Amino acid sequence: MPRTTTVECPGCPPLRALTFDALGLIKVIESRGDRGIPQVVERWGNPDSSKCVLAVSMDDSKRDPLLAVARKSSVIELLNPLNGEIGVSISNVGDAGTQPEDDAVIGLHLFKRHRVSGSCALLTCSTKGNASMRSIEVTSSTVDNASTVAPRTWKVSASGNILCSKVDGSENYALFGGKAVEVNLWDLEKCSKIWTAKPPPKNGLGIFTPTWFTSATFLTNDDHRKFAAGTNSHQVRLYDTSAQRRPVISFDFCDTPIKAVTEDQDGHTIYIGNGSGDLASFDIRTGKLLGCFLGKCSGSIRSIARHLELPVIGSCGLDSYLRLWDIKTRQLLSAVFLKQHLTNVVFDSNFTDKGHVVLGFTFSSGCSVNGMKYWG
């Protein structure tokens, strides 16, 4: 039987979250009122395990919000996050015809910088280390004006499996890491590696822990040199590329693999979720545990999101619950059962009780360019 904990939930401030699951469904959860109860208000898509959502990235700007979703079938979709309408569907299968299950998309980033109406840029990275950056432009409603620039591609790693990737706040740098792949930093403008971590030495018993990174995040938006990474050996490591190649600080968290790491806006607090459902906050400068979140999850945590405006984080995972927490008291505000195993959660930071009215991202109707399909 799964572990359950009964905790009184006081409710949530007004917020909007999107969850993604193993059957490819996208569910919109909203809470209204000062202490509202979050509820599912929309569900997009049909259940299909081949469409399992592996990675997401969202630009929730007031003008032209956009959502990018990478699926198990190696299809990347661009959607309007306000109504779920699909704008673009891109096949990410390489020229060699590698099967999707053999080289799934593990990292996805939708660039927010310099975005203009009708265009966007995407960074993707697969488990085999195949990275690419592509631009999509649709300048008007006419089919002839839809175009895409040939993607820039490069190899992040020649061996091992990439399991995590993250783009910094300036969107000039990205880090990658995985199983048998030391975490490394890349300059995206030049598509060149600028730093690679060095594994920690053997411990006092002469035992060397194999490299296996599962998650990573930059600490601040204005400094790409400092980031935290979680490992399969339940360790969290702080790196400072300006100081050294080995971790500046490392510490253990419980005894199961780290599955999710997310930063706070203060630049030194991180939130960590693991394979046994433990969720906690740490001061990464010292490795000090600030506290565990009350109301233990009953399954592996796979995603943690920090709301940009509210003192709230959301977590989700294999127990099929979206849980919303107060970061100050670490109290559970509310939990929503969503039936499927959850893979990701994101917040819409511009949502208010009065709604969210913006100009949507539009594409030409019935257009196909360079293997990309466009819908209206």
Give me the domains of the chain, ranges plus CATH numbers.
52-155 (2.40.10.480)
Residue 340 near residue 21 (C-beta atoms within 8 A): yes
Helix (H) / strand (E) element for 156: namely none
Judged against a pLDDT cut of 80, whether residue 364 lies above it is answered with no
Q: What is the pLDDT of residues 3-22, one digit of tens each?
A: 444 456 778 999 999 999 99
Q: Mean pLDDT throughout 195-212?
A: 85
User: What secondary structure does DSSP assign to 331-361, as a single string?
Assistant: -EEEEEE-SSPEEEEEE-TT--TT----PPP
Q: How far is CA 299 from CA 6, 19, 164, 215, in A?
A: 15, 16, 20, 17
User: What secondary structure does DSSP assign to 101-143, as a single string?
Assistant: GGS-EEEEEE--TT--TTEEEEEEEETT-EEEEEEEEE-SSSG
Judged against a pLDDT cut of 80, whether residue 191 lies above it is answered with yes
Bridge pairing between strands 86-91 and 75-79: antiparallel
Pairwise CA distance, residues 362 & 45, whole Å: 19
User: What is the DSSP code (8-state) at residue 38?
Assistant: P
Pairwise CA distance, residues 213 & 237, whole Å: 10
Number of Cβ within a 10 Å radius of residue 263: 23
Q: What is the pLDDT of residues 93-104, one digit of tens each?
A: 654 555 566 789
Q: Mean pLDDT throughout 25-42?
A: 93
Task: For residue 55, give both structure tokens.
Answer: 């990675």
Tell me which residue of 153, 184, 182, 179 sits closest to 166, measured CA to CA. Answer: 184
Tell me which residue of 124, 62, 114, 50 sits closest to 92, measured CA to CA. Answer: 124
Q: What is the pLDDT of residues 212-259, one digit of tens each?
A: 999 999 999 889 999 999 999 999 999 999 999 999 999 999 999 999
SS in 3 state form for 195-257?
Answer: EECCCCCCCCCCCCCCCEEEEEEEEECCEEEEEEEEECCCEEEEEECCCCCCCCEEEECCCCC
The better pLDDT of the pair 331, 10 is held by 331
Band the pLDDT of 138: cuts 50, 70, 90: low
Q: How far apart are the first and last CA of the chain?
A: 46
Band the pLDDT of 198: cuts 50, 70, 90: very high
Q: What is the pLDDT of residues 163-173, one digit of tens each?
A: 999 999 999 99
Q: Mean pLDDT throughout 272-285?
A: 96
Q: What is the torsional sign of CA 177, 349, 51, 342?
A: positive
